[in-house]
Amino acid sequence: MKQCPKCGSQCFCVTAHVTQDWLVDADGDFLECTKDCVEVTHRPDDDDIWQCDKCGYSAAGSEFNVAEPKHLNTEKTHTAKKRNNRRENR
């Protein structure tokens, strides 16, 4: 979980890498984007720069990490176990 260390906001501007579908001419030059986000090839992570959308503070994503409340960790662990059990039963 991430939170701005300056203002406490949990909204950020980050860069993600996505693929697009394009309409191109006979030389392969861009004419028009036909689909904005076909696939996300890189989600923002702790090594990327994150900028707080409220106060503008920018730093590596790791600078925004905060510990999750224990009840959330328990819920995630329970959900992951259920997902793994479903995979094993296929």
Q: Is the Cβ–Cβ distance between 15 and 55 less than 8 Å?
A: no
Rounded-to-integer distance, Cα 48 and Cα 59, Å: 8
Whole-prediction pTM value?
0.66
Which single residue is written with the structure tokens 């730093």? 59
Helices of type H across the chain: 70-88
Give 64's DSSP letter.
G
Q: 39 is written with which tokens?
A: 């696939």
pLDDT for residue 83 = 58
Distances (CA, A) of 28 to 22, 31, 78: 9, 9, 49
According to the model, what pLDDT value does residue 21 have? 98
The pLDDT tens digits for 10-69 are 999 999 999 999 999 999 999 999 999 999 999 999 999 999 999 999 999 999 999 877
